[in-house]
Each structure stands twice: as structure tokens, then as C-alpha cells.
Amino acid sequence: MRTPVESSVIVSRLRQDGKGEYVCQSNDEHCRNVAELANKFAASFGMGEWGYVLGQLHDKGKEKHQFQEYIRDANGIPGHSHYTREGKTHAYVGALEARRIYGKQAIPLFCNPIASHHRGLYDYCELEDILKQSLPEEVTGVTDKASLSTPPFKMEGKDFHHLARMMFSCLVDADFLDTEAFMDEHTSKARGCHTSLHSLLPLLEQHLDLLNHLSPLSDVNPIRREVQSCCRKKSDLPKGFYSLTVPTGGGKTLSSLLWAMRHAIHHGMSRIVIAIPYTSIIAQTASILKQIFGEEAILEHHSAFNPDSARDDANRHRAKLATENWDYPIIVTTNVQLFESMFSHRPSDCRKLHNVANSVIILDEAQMLPTDFLQPIVDALKSYQKMFGISVIFTTASQPVLSGLIEGCNPRAAFQGIDHITEIIPTGYALHDKLRRVCLEIDNTGSTYDEIAERLSRHDKVLCIVNTRNDAREIFERLPKEGLTIHLSRMMCPRHVSKAIQEIKQALSDNSETVIRVVATQLIEAGVDIDFPVVYRQEAGLDSILQAAGRCNREGKLDMATTYVFSLSKEHRLFGSIIDANNARLNMVNVKDWFAPETMTAYFRQLYCRKETFDKKRSRRYCINLQQCALKRHPRSSDL
């Protein structure tokens, strides 16, 4: 026998218990719960009262008679079919109420998130049409106007759309979480990772001590300890932008994490987000971190990761849930996942954003940030640092130019980069000299596939990195199939790539006489811990060449090794973005040291001056229009 639901109760949600009886969550209870959660989320950047208003008003429209008919009918209660498709919609009502109470200025930060909390942020013209509707008569207009404090930061036009998305994130996640807590208590209790950065730091320190104790005597390991020492000393500096410029093999991954964990704990920050350009690097990094901290403390969120691979059922379920809102102490993800979420309008993408606030972001292999989107990326990072209290550390052996005026060949493409980036490693350390284990031999004359294959065949252990999958296939097919001869490219599925890399590492570590020849695309170029005595690299930008050289004599087992740079111009011309990168390198004259930091700075200046735009999708223009839309009528807003 089902217990009837009182007609006087304004229902937000209904469910049936194990006895078939209805359990009701009132609309007042739901809105109050969401308001408290949104308040908590927005308080991390000083706007808790604003978050509370969003939650308080977001489901005001459920007071409509037709919605109450719909919710009862949808749950099988007879006699409640008096509603239309349009009549059951409700999100717009809270937006109308917000505008009535707070005026036109409420449109971007209150009206749009409320009206959009089910379907995604509206374009301004769509929202303007929605706000022309009338407030339903049965909706009580008794909501008190809250006293809202001024945001604790100053905003420019380019900041505003990030604040709008952040408020949207607070509301969406709060709404999802309270709904889940009522409808699916088991899943709700499984959420979240209760491990803190405080408890993880000793595990990292212990792991580093063990590495330092067990590592063989070499010139490389003392330098890695120096890098770790610098990271410890500078971890208590103020929130802001930092760089860790360390040549390949210098231990950037764990050193940057050491800095980030100590920095986060010092400033009371919530979590660490590690963003990486390639899934092959992510898999390697996540594997190392899980060995140190356990898989229950690390969230992988990228297309190549299958949460079902987790050994523990509880961890598997928890990780799946955490990909929705990043409620974990350490997140390992892709640049694409991070930055597309910052510019998205969809609830599923934006939901995680409030957990990026008050966090440390590690941008690994920072030279891989796409120059075609450099302006919106840099603008976003500046806005997040100013408004949401993040710190950012750029880690790479090939540090790009991200501060000061960044100029292209088109004068209108110039934009102001980050005001100041603090380098963690003092210039006097000259790590590029201390970690010099490779010399470059550059041959700009053209070669054929046959000629390169013949040169590779002279070496028993050699890695060749080329620009395209076709080049990799052509050279691989010409190699003698002896020993371990491997082709690596995105023609292979991610699991196959990871398996092949592990096979290569194992073969190299065995120190056997087995022939090991690998032809790969750039997927192995950066971040993959692999050590060949000889490396060949097809002509490309200087950053790519030096990253490839980092796979050569990585552990310093040889006094000096060689990375050979070659051209395939006898087969075909370069194409795509690689042309600008290669021309920037070729245009550098009288270079005394290809590995010096000042050479890399000069290279990036050369590269940037060839760019027609740093904002290929013109996203910054649309983002600024969101601010204009908030203040006056305008034909477009952000739809990134």
C-alpha cells in the first residue's frame, strides 16, 4: 500500500522505499540543502553568500501547479495529469525571481546559472527571451533580499565569464549532490576521498628518502636532490605563478609534486591538479603516484583510463563518481580536460570547476601548451589566480615564454602574458651544464626513408622520433626485423602503447645484447622515462628536439651521447604547425649552446613572431562580450 503524498506539500522529489511507500523531499528542504552546499563551495573564493542565493532560488519554479502535477504523475500517483510540456519547465522561474529581487545586474551571476542549471549556460539572446516571461501567479514572491558582500577581488572584462562559470559550477554540483543524497543514499555515501594532502606528504617524503638512499652513485642523483631541496625551500612563497625548469632526467615530476604539496598545505589549499598533454605520460605519472600514495588517493581522468582497472571495488566506484566533480586530493588529467572545462557551458564539464578553486595546478611539459590558444589559456590562468586563489607551476626542460608582452607577426595578435613567474631553480645552478649528457648533430640536408633506416640499422639500441604516423610506418617497414623492433604511434590503442613502452623499458633495463630499435611519433618524446644510448629526431622545433634528446643517455651511463637531427625533405616537405616551429629553429644563428635557457627563450620569441593569432577560435572576444552583455544589450555572449 503506497502512502499518499499530501496535496499541500510542495514536492521537489519523490522516491519509493523498500515497502513501496513514497518518501518525499520538500522543495524548501531541497533548496535549503543546495543553498548550504553552494555556500560552502563558493566560500572557497569569498562568495559564499552569493552561492547561497543561487541554491535558495534555483528550484523556485517547482512551486508551479503544473510542475506539482507532473512530479506526482511521473511517480505513478493517479489523478495528476493536468500539465503540459511547457508547464512542467521550472528553471526559468528562479531566474525571474532573482532579477525581480536583485535587478538587471543579477543576470549573469544569478539569472543565467539558475535558468541554465539543467541544460547548460544560455547565450545572452536566448536568456533575454526567457526573462521576458511572467512570474507565475502561484509562485510566492516572499524571498528576502540577501545582503551580499562585494567580491574580494577586482575584475576586468576578461575575468567575468570565469566567475559566471564558477558560480554555475557551485550550483550544479550542489544540486547534483543533494539530489543524489536523497535518491541514492548508497552512492552518496561512497563519494569523496577522505585522504588529505597532510597525510600524503609524509609518504612522498619517505619515498624520496628511499630513492636517494637506494639510487646508485652517479652525477645525476645529487642534482635531483638539489632540485628537491630548492622545491622545499621555496614552497612557502605566496600564491602565484612559478616555473620549475629542469633538464630531462632531473626529477621534475616528483620535485614539482613535493613543491605543490608543501605549498598547498602551507596555504590551506584543497587539492593538486596535474595537467599533462599526452595520455602516455599521464599513465606513467599516475602509476608512479599510485605506487607512492595508493590508488585510493589518485584520480585519473582522461580518455585512456578505465576506472574498472582499479583492483578494489570501493575505489573503482569512488573514482568513477569523482570524475564528475574532482573531489579528490590529487587529480591527474589532460590539458584538454582542464582547459575545455574552464570554457565550457555544459553542466557536466563545469561541475568540477569549484574544486579547481584554491588548488595548485601543475602544468607538466608546459612547452606543449598550444600556441593557437595561448591567449585564452593564459587569460584563464590569470583570472583563476586572481579570483579563485590558485597557484600554478609550469614544469618542463623547455620553458616557453609566458610572461610580458607576447607578440606575433600580426600586431593585433599581441597580448599581455603573466606579469611575473618565479623560477624555483636559481639561475646560478646552471643545471643545463650539470646535466649535459648529450650533444646535437644537426643535418639539414634531405634524406630518404631508406637512408634513415640504413643509419638506424647501424645501431643495436636506437630510438628514432618522427613527426607523423606515416613517416614512422615507412621507416619501420624498412628496418630489419631482428631483436625487438617496435613501431609506436597513435595508430595503436592507448593500452597497446603503454604495453609497448613497458616492454621497451624492460628490455633496456636488462642490459642484454638484444637489438632494440624503436621508431615512434612524438608520443614518446616528452615525459616518458626511457633511456637510449642513441636517438634520432626528425627536424622540428627546438623544444621538440631537446625533449627527444632527453630520451638519450638519460641516466648518464655514458660520458656523452649523441642525438642526430635529420630532414626527410627528399621524401616530402613539412606541413602543418611543424613548419613554423622548424623555421623558428632554423632562423636562429650563432647559437653557442642549444641547451641553454636563454636559447630556449630566443626560440620561443622566434616561434611567436610567426603566429598570426594566439586565439584561433576568437574565444577571448566572446568572453569579453559576456561582461558587456551583463551591463547592456549586446548581440552575443560566450558559447565556448
Q: Please give, one letter per residue, the 3-state secondary structure of 228-247.
A: HHHHHHCCCCCCCEEEEECC
Confidence of residue 425 (pLDDT cuts 50, 70, 90): very high
pLDDT of residue 314: 67
Residues in contact with 413: Cβ distance below 8 Å, sequence separation at least 6, in sequence order: 407, 611, 612, 613, 614, 615
* Mean pLDDT of all residues in 452-476: 96
**Bridge partners for 242 per DSSP:** 393, 422
For residue 190, count other CB atoms closer than 10 A to its CB.
13
Confidence of residue 220 (pLDDT cuts 50, 70, 90): confident
Higher-pLDDT residue of 389 and 22 is 389
* Mean pLDDT of all residues in 194-209: 94
pLDDT of residue 626: 42
Confidence of residue 528 (pLDDT cuts 50, 70, 90): confident
- Distance separating alpha carbons of residues 565 and 534, to the nearest angstrom: 11
* Mean pLDDT of all residues in 28-55: 97
The dihedral of CA 600, 604, 607, 610: what is its sign?
Answer: negative
- Distance separating alpha carbons of residues 129 and 124, to the nearest angstrom: 9
* Mean pLDDT of all residues in 245-259: 91
pLDDT of residue 635: 28
Please, where are the H alpha helices in 313-437?
313-325, 335-342, 347-350, 374-388, 431-434
Residues in contact with 20: Cβ distance below 8 Å, sequence separation at least 6, in sequence order: 1, 2
pLDDT of residue 18: 80
* Mean pLDDT of all residues in 179-201: 91
> In the 8-state DSSP scheme, what is residue 100?
H
- Distance separating alpha carbons of residues 202 and 332, to the nearest angstrom: 20
* Mean pLDDT of all residues in 548-564: 89
C-alpha cell at 477: 617497414
pLDDT of residue 634: 29
Higher-pLDDT residue of 292 and 194 is 292
pLDDT of 630 strictly over 80: no
Closest by alpha carbon to 379, among 412, 327, 353, 416? 416
Q: Which domains does the chain have, with CATH numbers?
A: 11-190 (no CATH), 197-429 (3.40.50.300), 437-594 (3.40.50.300)
The pTM (predicted TM-score) of the whole model is: 0.90
C-alpha cell at 513: 645484447
Cα distances from 228 to residues 76, 201, 249, 256, 462, in angstroms, run 63, 14, 13, 8, 31
Q: Poorest-confidence range of 14-18, 92-96, 241-245?
A: 14-18
Task: Indicate the average pLDDT of the chain.
Answer: 89
Residue in this structure with the C-alpha cell 598570426, named with its chain if needed:
612
- Distance separating alpha carbons of residues 92 and 114, to the nearest angstrom: 7
- Distance separating alpha carbons of residues 130 and 107, to the nearest angstrom: 11
pLDDT of residue 622: 46
Q: Which of 264-273, 426-435, 487-496, 590-599 has the highest mean pLDDT?
A: 264-273
pLDDT of 618 strictly over 90: no
- What SS3 string covers 329-358? CEEEEEHHHHHHHHCCCCHHHHCCHHHCCC
Confidence of residue 606 (pLDDT cuts 50, 70, 90): very high
The answer to whether the beta carbons of residues 429 and 632 sit under 8 Å apart is no
Closest by alpha carbon to 192, among 358, 330, 322? 322
Residue in this structure with the C-alpha cell 562580450, named with its chain if needed:
625
- Distance separating alpha carbons of residues 377 and 615, to the nearest angstrom: 9
pLDDT of residue 385: 97
Residues in contact with 476: Cβ distance below 8 Å, sequence separation at least 6, in sequence order: 485, 487, 519
Confidence of residue 4 (pLDDT cuts 50, 70, 90): low
Task: Report the length, in residues, of the chain.
Answer: 640
The answer to whether the beta carbons of residues 353 and 165 sit under 8 Å apart is yes
pLDDT of residue 624: 41
**Bridge partners for 392 per DSSP:** 241, 361
Q: Poorest-confidence range of 27-41, 95-109, 374-388?
A: 95-109
Confidence of residue 77 (pLDDT cuts 50, 70, 90): confident
pLDDT of residue 190: 87
Confidence of residue 625 (pLDDT cuts 50, 70, 90): very low
For residue 574, count other CB atoms closer than 10 A to its CB.
19
Widest distance between CA atoms in the chain: 89
* Mean pLDDT of all residues in 18-47: 94
Provide, rounded to the nearest whole percent, the portion of the chain with pLDDT above 90. Answer: 63
**Bridge partners for 423 per DSSP:** 243
**Bridge partners for 487 per DSSP:** 519
**3 state SS of 572:** coil
Cα distances from 614 to residues 339, 372, 378, in angstroms, run 15, 5, 10
pLDDT of residue 207: 95
pLDDT of 271 strictly over 80: yes
Count of CA atoms in the C-beta half-sphere (13 A) of 79: 3
- What SS3 string covers 240-297? CEEEEECCCCCCHHHHHHHHHHHHHHHCCCCCEEEEECCHHHHHHHHHHHHHHHCHHH
**3 state SS of 577:** coil
> In the 8-state DSSP scheme, what is residue 418?
B
pLDDT of 69 strictly over 60: yes
pLDDT of residue 496: 86
What is the per-residue burial (b if ≥16 Cβ within 10 Å, else e) of 435-453? bbbbebeeeeeebebeebb
The answer to whether the beta carbons of residues 108 and 164 sit under 8 Å apart is yes
pLDDT of residue 3: 54
* Mean pLDDT of all residues in 297-313: 73
pLDDT of 2 strictly over 70: no
* Mean pLDDT of all residues in 536-543: 96
Count of CA atoms in the C-beta half-sphere (13 A) of 421: 21
* Mean pLDDT of all residues in 397-405: 93
pLDDT of 179 strictly over 70: yes
